[in-house]
Structure 1
Amino acid sequence: MLILHHAPQSRSTRIVQLIAEMGIEAEVELRLTQIPRMDGSGGRDPGNPHPEGKVPLLEHDGAQISESNAVMLYLTDLYPDTALGRPVGHPSRGAYLSWLAWYGNVFEPVHLLQFAQLSHPALSASLRDVPAAVARLQAALAERDWLVDDHLSAADILVSSTYGWLPQLMPDDARIRDWVDRCLSRPAMRRVSAEDKARAGA
């Protein structure tokens, strides 16, 4: 049995969007939970087994998977026929894994540091910075419409989610804007976004 602990309009929204895009909503029980929010609202939910009280957290027959990129990899490996992942042996498997890891190791951290107005030579030497991250996106999207290969993948949903939540961070680049629009305008993505707003309002 698959259970996703989800807080509306949070990082776990992109997992709900992936599940919808994969067409496996009937296979996953969605358990709504509260989390501490940056504005001071919310709080830790004792019913959420995540060790830090965060989301997403996926449970599968007793196993617990946290972190968005890990949850996405787990789901797309579990359902390889849905075509949102790239299974072992696929020519694009390496690129798929690299983009998923890059998001958590580089893309989100450098944007968070910029948002917090924090800088240090050690950080830029290790993580680089937002311009370097944007340059990598530009290089990939100059060659194709999607990050991994010629088809949408969970990596596109993951990376584009940052610009979905914070559109003011989106660079003034036509290819990146078109790619984000292709990702976010898909029917499943729009439906989940609307449903999530309704959940948050309730």
Structure 2
Amino acid sequence: MAANDIVLYHHPWSRSAGVRILLEALGVAYRIEHVDIQAGQQRDPAFLAVNPMGKLPALVHDGAVVTEQVAIFIHLADAFPAAALAPAIGDPLRGPYLRWMAFYGAAFEPAVVDRAKQRPPLDRSTSPYGDYESMIATLAAQLGRGDYILGDRLTAADILWGTGLRWTTGFGLVEATPVLRAYIDRVTAHPAFARAAELDAPLVPATAEE
């Protein structure tokens, strides 16, 4: 596959960081279009033509634009089945896999953001995640059932969750309980995390190291 068949619009300090890790885990060729979010390039007309939301990540695969972090994960893992990072349609784990992919975007992220911003709790009948405590307890219970979110099989869902939990616990937005810490350590031990970090190093602003 030629590198220009997959283009990732990317900055290491954005949600596209996890997509780069997934691409490394898939072992496919891709090209990076660096979007300097500190300089506001996500609002440049050239990028808004790709994603009018002005948000990363954005992916172009064989000319088709895919945005939204979870959608990109599902798309890429399905597009390259040889890597075995997604249960196929018909696999009994396909439903649970999609459940936890959707749970990340529909429940985890909104709950963490609302809590971090100290927003008043929503009525459970209108909240997409119920309440923070129920959300995190549901996640912890699932992670306590095995090494990975689907048990003993690492999938793209783990790269999504491992990246998100590493970031949110690192900034103190989510408590790094023993269950979460052990899960993060298992997932981020995958070689793709180290490869992506090495590739991202030249893109990290110098001020990040000062």
> Does residue 196 in structure 1 map to residue 193 in structure 2?
no
Give 5+ residue unaligned stretches, structure 1. none
CA contact (8 A) 1:86 1:92 kept: yes
Asked whether 1:22 is paired with 2:26, we answer yes
| Residue correspondence of structure 1 range 63-142 to structure 2 within 5 A | 63-122=64-123, 126=127, 127-142=129-144
Q: Distance in 2 between the 1:90 and 1:108 partners? A: 27
Partner of 1:12: 16
Distance 1:9 1:197, change over 3 A: farther
Q: Aligned-pair distance for 1:14?
A: 0.2
What CA deviation, in whole Å up to 9, does each residue of 1:69-105 have, x standing for no partner?
1001000110111111111111210011111111110
User: 1:159 aligned to 161, 176, 196, which one?
Assistant: 161
Identity fraction in percent: 35
Structure 2 CA distance, aligned partners of 1:152 and 1:169? 25
Q: Where does structure 1 differ by over 6 angstroms across 4 or more consecutive aligned residues? A: none
TM-score, L = length of structure 2: 0.85
- The alignment's TM-score, normalised by the length of structure 1, stands at 0.88
Deviation at 1:124, TM superposition (A): 7.6
Aligned to 1:34: 36
Give the total of aligned pairs: 196
Alpha-carbon RMSD: 1.9
Does the aligned pair in 1 maintain the 2:116–2:173 contact within 8 Å? no
Are the counterparts in 2 of residues 4 and 59 from structure 1 also a CA contact under 8 Å? Answer: yes
Q: Using the TM superposition, give the Cα deviation of residue 121 of structure 1 relative to its aligned residue in structure 2, in angstroms.
A: 3.1
Letter in 1 for 2:46: G
